[in-house]
Structure formats: C-alpha cells, structure tokens
Structure 1
Amino acid sequence: MIKFSIITVCLNAGNDLLETVESTLKQSYDEFEIIVKDGFSKDCSIEKLPQNKKVCVYQEKDKSVYDAMNQAIAYATGDYCLFINAGDTLYEPSTLQLIADFIEKNPGDFYYGKSHTLSSGVMNYGPEKVTKYFCYRTTMRHQAMVIKTSYLKERGYDTQYKITADREWMVYAFVQAKMRFVRMPMVVCNYKGGGISSGEDVRQIIAEETRKINQTHFTKVEQMKFAVMHAITLPGIRSKISSNPRFKSLYYKMRYKYLSR
C-alpha cells in the first residue's frame, strides 16, 4: 500500500497545530505518518498534541521555513509527501484514500489537486496540465501537491529563496528534472491562509525571487516569449476582476485553463 508522510513545520502555532493534527488523524486511509517538525515552540502547542503512534514530533533548530521542511523530509518514510501548514486540513476524511486510489491507477511523480480557501470559499483548481508558461507565470497551492518522497530527498528546497522555494522546486521538477506531473480530480486541502507568502509586505520579495527563478530555469528567448504572452492578457484589468468576490472563483478557473495551453 502507498504510504503518505503528512508534514507540518511549525513554531508557536498554538491551537492551529492541534486542529491540523487531529483532523489528519480522522483519515479513513490508514497508511500515513504525521511528521511535526517544530523549532522548539514555547506556547505548549507540542504538549497538546495527542499521544498517537502516527504522530512523530521532531524538535530541531532551523534557519527558515524551508530549512525546517528539508529537515522534515529527512525523517519521512512515506512514498509521497504532503505539506500541510498548521491551521490547514485535508479536505475530508476520505482524502488520502481518494489520492491513493488515484495514484495506483495513474503513474506519476508529482501530483496536484484542488484546494479550498476557507476565508473566501474560493476553489483553486490548478492547471488542466502544467506547461512551461504556467511555471513562468504562477504556481499552485503547496498544500495541494503530493510529491514522491525520493525526489524531495534527492533535491530539497533551495533555502536561498525565503518566500518562493516551493515554487522554485515545482519549476525545477517540471523544467529540469522532467518529472511526470499528474492532475488529480479531487480537492486535497482546506487552506486557512496567512502563510509566509501572504501579506503586502512580502510582495516585493516575491517579485524579486520570481525573476530569479525565471532567469535560472528559462532561456532568454523563453522569458521574452512568455512576457509578451502575459502582456496581451491585460493584467491590469484581470487584477480588478480577480479582486471582485462575485467573479473570483470563475476567474481563477478560466485563468488556469489559459495557463495550461
């Protein structure tokens, strides 16, 4: 049977950590481990966790979120890893069973599904298929990715990226490592929001890191081509549409369809 490593990295996550772990323990599928990589929290959040053989807590100092994720990967014994932030949950009790059944029938290395944003109710569909243009333009919800553990152990997250190392790993996986990306039909997670990539203060960092990712993984010709493709989609108008709650969900569904071309 396929075994999953559900990884949560945290530091003083409060009751969000307990909520995530307790929710995961309700999964109907039995072959999984929960790896909690904690940076020595002082809020008693670790002490509140249920005593369960599936819950493996590792406390170790780290330099960043992605450094902590790399540390957790080293402990993973599952065939596939899912990273679920404290406060986020798997979508329903049957989620891991649905994913396992799908993987058995659809060979791949990097799977991704839908994610549900709790604050807005918006469903993030992910692209119909991953393309270079998609990788150049955007990413997908990290909590909706199911990645073969052996690849993560071979090449972890690049910690020079403070906010977008998960995006950089996705681009590397598709463009450089030529991994098999497979879209799953199910919703994988409930996304609470508020992670390190949220907030106005990090937008400049994200923009700078995105430029670096694109310069690293795409040729100059590809960058020019994709920049033109982006410009003709009228980003200013699209930004206004995407911020309207009435059209947000439909907008993202159509956006991912376009980026899959």
Structure 2
Amino acid sequence: MENIKVTVITVCYNAYNTIENTITSIINQDYRNIEFIVIDGNSKDKTIDIVQKYKNRINKIISEPDKGIYDAMNKGIALATGDYCIFMNSGDSFFDYKSVSSAVPFLTENSDIVSGIATLENQIWYPAKESELSLSFFVTKSLNHQATFIKTTLLKKIGYDSSLKIVADSIFFFKILILGNGSYKAIPVNIAKCEDSGMSGDREASYKELQMAIKTLLPQRMSKDVDFIHYYCNPAVIKIGNLLHKCKWLKKIWHFYKRHQKVR
C-alpha cells in the first residue's frame, strides 16, 4: 500500500514557537512514503533555524518572501511529486503517528478529495457527508483543510487563488466538488489537530470574502441565491422556520393572502 506517495506541505512565517511541534508530528508518522516540503516566508525570527535542524528529514525547503499564505501554498504545490497533498501549516499537527497510514487505504479508491476528522481547541470537526455537499454547504461551511487529502494533479491544474486572503482553500473545494462534480470521500479517521485562531478565524471577514468569491464563479442571476443562503441558512432561523411551517392557523392566513393576491 505504500506505493501511494503523500506530500505534506507546511507553510510558515515567524512561527518559532509552533513550527517544531508541526515538524515532529510529520516526521514521526509511521507511513514511510511521505514527501515533506516546507515553505517559509522569509521569517524574521528563528523559524528557519528550527526548520534547518530537521533538514535531513525534509525533502525540500524554501525560505523567501511571498505574497501571502496561498501564494506560499502554490509554491509547495509546484514542488510536490506525491499522488496526494495535505497541508499541515505551522501551529497544526497530525492527530497521532498513524494519521497518514490510517488514511492511505481510503486513498487507494482514487477519490479527488478525501476528508477526515480534525480536532480543534473547542470542537471536533467531522467531514461532511457526500450528500451534504451543495451550494448552501459551501456558502455557510467548508471542509477542514488540514484534515483533507487532495489529488496533486488537481492542485497543480487549478491551484489556490492567491488574490484571496482567507478562503482560497474553500473556493478550491467549491470549484472541484460543485462546479467540477469531482469525487469525494469522507473517512472516519482522526487526521489533524488544528489551532482555532488564525486568519480563517475572523468569521465575518471570512464570510464576506467567501460570498464574493462564490458569486464571481456563478451566473449573476444566482447572486441573490447566495445572499439568501447566507442570511437564512443558519440553525436558529431554520428552527424558527420549521416551527412556523407547522403552525396551521398561520398557513391558513398565508393561503388566504395568496388567493386574494392579484396575478401579474
């Protein structure tokens, strides 16, 4: 089974306090066919000193200025030679030393995107079921990037939109799974431990960028659909809506109103 090569890409910048934990979680995996690439954004602290400490266990190291996290990820993708890539950026780590070896049997089924379980500081992020993947899913949620294996050929073909600051990974998934009808598998494997903080933790900014990016990929006539999903597809509104839908007297009033409306 080790004929499947997995490329792990780590992007870091001024991450002296967290990079070593990330590196050790990768080099201590019991799966042997791993390519490990580190892309450092020309850190000003001692991050690169920690990286160089493990240079014999890292296949490729780049330390140079970049245009942001997704530009750095694209640099890693350009160097990748594995069948699948997974991103484990500084501050994140594999769940345990068997995370990759436990996922590889599912990679043999050749799905475009394979997503597992991520553990955050305050929650467990389970992968979406295939039946859940829709426009509304990606307007309101996403897959956990650190717990997801992606076919390298797709990453090289499409890459991440480096003009985006927060949600380029979500937009990549949207392009592959919704617009491209790519294949997907959710797996019951603990893959990653992730930080809750970071750029993607700014929920308001994240939603705003996500909506705008999705709208640019869809016909203009669907812009209102994206707005509707954003405003009304949340647990509180759905619960209230379901209660109102079951209210018989409210239905009668609505039907009476509709019957007496003028047809345009």
What TM-score, normalized to structure 2? Answer: 0.80
Structure 1 residue 54 corresponds to structure 2 residue 58: yes
After superposition, give the CA deviation of every residue in 1:187-240 in whole Å (9 maximum; x if it has no partner): 110112322212xxx4443232122123123443585388269626554698xx
Paired position in structure 2 for 1:34: 36
The secondary structure found in structure 2 opposite 1:227 is helix
Structure 1 residues 46 and 231: alpha-carbon distance in aligned structure 2, compared to 1, 3 A threshold: same
Structure 1 residues 197 and 225: alpha-carbon distance in aligned structure 2, compared to 1, 3 A threshold: closer
Give the Cα–Cα distance (whole angstroms) in 2 for the partners of residues 223 and 179 of structure 1. 25
Length, aligned pairs only: 232
Structure 1 residues 207 and 32: alpha-carbon distance in aligned structure 2, compared to 1, 3 A threshold: same
Give the Cα–Cα distance (whole angstroms) in 2 for the partners of residues 207 and 136 of structure 1. 8
Give the Cα–Cα distance (whole angstroms) in 2 for the partners of residues 229 and 11 of structure 1. 33
- Give, as a single letter, the amino acid of the residue that structure 2 aligns with 1:124: W
Structure-to-structure mapping, 1:216-227, within 5 angstroms? 216-219=216-219, 220-221=221-222, 224=225, 227=228
Structure 1 vs Structure 2 CA RMSD: 2.3
Identity rate, percent = 30
Paired position in structure 1 for 2:67: 63
Give the Cα–Cα distance (whole angstroms) in 2 for the partners of residues 186 and 233 of structure 1. 27
Give the Cα–Cα distance (whole angstroms) in 1 for the partners of residues 77 and 35 of structure 2. 12
Paired position in structure 1 for 2:261: none
Structure-to-structure mapping, 1:76-87, within 5 angstroms? 76-87=80-91
Q: Would you say the 8 A contact 2:140–2:233 is kept in 1?
A: no
Quick one: which of 148, 151, 155 aligns to 1:152? Answer: 155
Structure-to-structure mapping, 1:113-152, within 5 angstroms? 113-117=116-120, 119-120=121-122, 122-129=123-130, 130-152=133-155
Structure 1 residues 114 and 223: alpha-carbon distance in aligned structure 2, compared to 1, 3 A threshold: farther
Structure 2 unaligned blocks of 5 or more: 240-264
What's the CA shift for 1:124? 0.6
Structure 1 residue 175 corresponds to structure 2 residue 178: yes
Give the Cα–Cα distance (whole angstroms) in 1 for the partners of residues 190 and 22 of structure 2. 16
Q: Which structure has the bigger radius of gyration?
A: 2
Structure 1 unaligned blocks of 5 or more: 239-261
- Give, as a single letter, the amino acid of the residue that structure 1 aligns with 2:13: L
The secondary structure found in structure 1 opposite 2:28 is coil
Give the Cα–Cα distance (whole angstroms) in 2 for the partners of residues 40 and 21 of structure 1. 17
- Give, as a single letter, the amino acid of the residue that structure 2 aligns with 1:85: N
Paired position in structure 2 for 1:190: 193
Structure 1 residues 223 and 17: alpha-carbon distance in aligned structure 2, compared to 1, 3 A threshold: same
Structure 1 residues 42 and 212: alpha-carbon distance in aligned structure 2, compared to 1, 3 A threshold: same
What's the CA shift for 1:42? 2.4
